[in-house]
Homo-oligomer: A and B are copies of this chain.
Amino acid sequence: MLNKIIRSKETLIDFPCPNKNQILKLHIAYLRAMLKVGILGGGQLGRMLLQAAANYPVETHVLENDDNCPAAYLCRHFKKGNICDFDAVYNFGKGLDAITIEIENVNVEALEKLENEGVKVYPKPSVLRIIQNKILQKQYYSQHQIPTSPYAILNSKNEIAQSPQFLPGVQKLATGGYDGRGVQIIETITDAEEGFDEPSVLEKRIKIRKEIAQIVAIDQQGKTVLYPAVEMVFNKDLNQLDYQLCPADIPKEVLWKVEAIAVSVVRNFQSPGIFAVELFIDDNNEIFVNETAPRVHNSGHHTIEAHYSSQFDMLWRIILGYPLGNTKYILPSIMVNIIGSEQHSGNAEYSGLKDVLTIDNAFVHIYGKQQTKPGRKMGHVTILSAEKQDLIHKANKIKQALSVVAETR
């Protein structure tokens, strides 16, 4: 109870206590002490959060099952444990002042209990409940008049045949899908037999002209700032992200709509944090929200070097109650993911790293993952340049030079 009282000035003032001075002192002591902040998940996003945390007075904690993960050695306290397990998350969080995530797939019940006990959670568990379930996420967009592709909610694969108006479509499992898993294309009713036989969403496929990511930061008082929108350029043959360009090359009128829609997505969550809203733009410049990540995100990596306040810096500002940072870019940028090569599994070896490091203004981030696997995100490179053509030229150079292969002995 006291814990809750000293957390908020408002509560303090209204508290009918015989010794307000004593509590005031505790409150001041709390404000001065280094905040203890936990991160659920120890991947590259956690690692970059920790690199940024070292600029501020904050005591960092990480919970992650793999004690050799990218974030394991950059935090003040590392705890080995399963972020999907109630007890692991609750026990990790109960001594902390605040907790955040670097992946959505965490135990929400534990976070709700922690929130009730006064631990601040970024984003709020109520947001995670919606995001973790693709059906709830779609309904959230509909409920708030946020444009998204037309969809049907299915309980089994038999229902695909009853929804021909959503074909060709994309079927997404309500829960359990992650990073490409739990998603498949249904071209025609004849494909229905191959469909997922579980609760899912069937979305009508949009003819995508551009894919955009819009990062929005929202502080504890509800103030929002937007990063410049990012354009995700895909390799159509490999269906793989080729690079991300910032700022996105879209007309002003479209950009304004993107921003308005993204702010609407985020404001209605009523939660502080960093949010990455992924949107599709079709040939008629119609905009559709695809998905939202309520956390620091792959589409914001470039902000480390290319922007005044990076997404990682920004999240710390939000958690520590500091003013929001400047989201403007210093220079336009392009970001290339470093991906584990096909048919290579084993100890990671970075072929061509020296060639990449000869490229002027290329910032290399290797995540420190020991093992490579086909398609695994092993690092990224951000390039800064005032010229879009220079950015694309260098991005292609990097994609050709660099590969992550398995060590041969």
- Whole-angstrom distance between the Cβ of A310 and the nearest chain B Cβ: 10
Which chain B residues lie closer than 8 Å to A164 at the CB level? none
Question: Of B350, B360, B409, which one neighbours A326 at CB under 8 angstroms?
Answer: B360
Q: How far is the CB of A254 from chain B (nearest CB, A)?
A: 27
Q: Contact check, B74 vs A54: say whether CB atoms are below 8 A apart.
A: yes
Report the separation of the CA atoms of residues A262 and B384 in the bound assembly, to the nearest whole angstrom: 29
- Report Cα–Cα, A98/B344, bound state, in Å: 30
CA distance in complex: A76, B349 (Å): 20
- A322 CA to B363 CA, complexed, in Å: 13
- Chain B min CB distance to A405 (Å): 11
Query: A158 CB to closest chain B CB, in angstroms?
Result: 50
Contact among B325, B350, B368 for A54, CB-based, below 8 A:
B368
Q: From known contacts A330-B384, A366-B56, infer whether A357 and B51 are also in contact, taking CB-CB under 8 Å.
A: no
A354 at the interface (CB under 8 A from B): yes
The answer to whether B323 and A354 touch across the interface, beta carbons within 8 angstroms, is yes
**Contact flags (1/0) for A45-88 with B, using CB distance below 8 Å?**
00100110011110010000000000001111000000000000
Interface size class of A (residues with CB under 8 A): 35 or more
Q: How far is the CB of A225 from chain B (nearest CB, A)?
A: 12
Q: How far is the CB of A351 from chain B (nearest CB, A)?
A: 10
From DSSP, what is the main secondary structure of chain A's interface residues? loop
Q: Note all chain B residues with C-beta closer than 8 A to A363.
A: 55, 308
**CB of A188 within 8 A of chain B?**
no
Does A322 lie within 8 Å of B354, measured CB to CB? Answer: yes
- Docked complex Cα distance between A350 and B54 (Å): 15
Q: Is A206 an interface residue (CB 8 A)?
A: no
Interface string of A251-281 (1 = CB under 8 A from B): 0000000000000000000000000000000
A357–B325 contact, CB under 8 A? yes
Asked whether A365 is an interface residue with its Cβ less than 8 Å from the other chain, the reply is: yes
Let me know if A308 and B55 touch, CB within 8 A.
Answer: no
Q: Give the complex CA separation of A229 and B111 in angstroms.
A: 51
Known contacts A73-B76, A357-B317, A384-B308; A364/B55 CB under 8 A: yes
Q: Is residue A181 within 8 Å, beta carbon to beta carbon, of the partner chain? A: no
Give min CB distance, A27 to chain B, whole Å: 13
B308 touches A361 (CB 8 A): yes
| Complex alpha-carbon distance, A57 and B347, angstroms | 12
A407 within 8 Å of B (CB atoms): yes
Residue of B56, B407, B409 near A364 (CB, 8 A) is: B56
CB distance from A3 to the nearest CB of B (A): 20
Residues of B within 8 A of A366 (CB): 55-57
Q: Which residues of B contact A350 (CB under 8 A)?
A: 57
4 A-B pairs with the lowest CB-CB distances in the bound complex, closest first:
A323-B358, A322-B357, A73-B76, A326-B360
Pairs across A and B, CB under 8 Å, 28 listed:
A29-B409, A32-B349, A32-B407, A47-B54, A50-B54, A50-B74, A51-B51, A54-B74, A54-B368, A55-B363, A55-B365, A55-B366, A56-B364, A57-B350, A57-B366, A60-B73, A73-B74, A73-B75, A73-B76, A308-B361, A308-B363, A322-B354, A322-B357, A323-B354, A323-B357, A323-B358, A325-B357, A326-B360
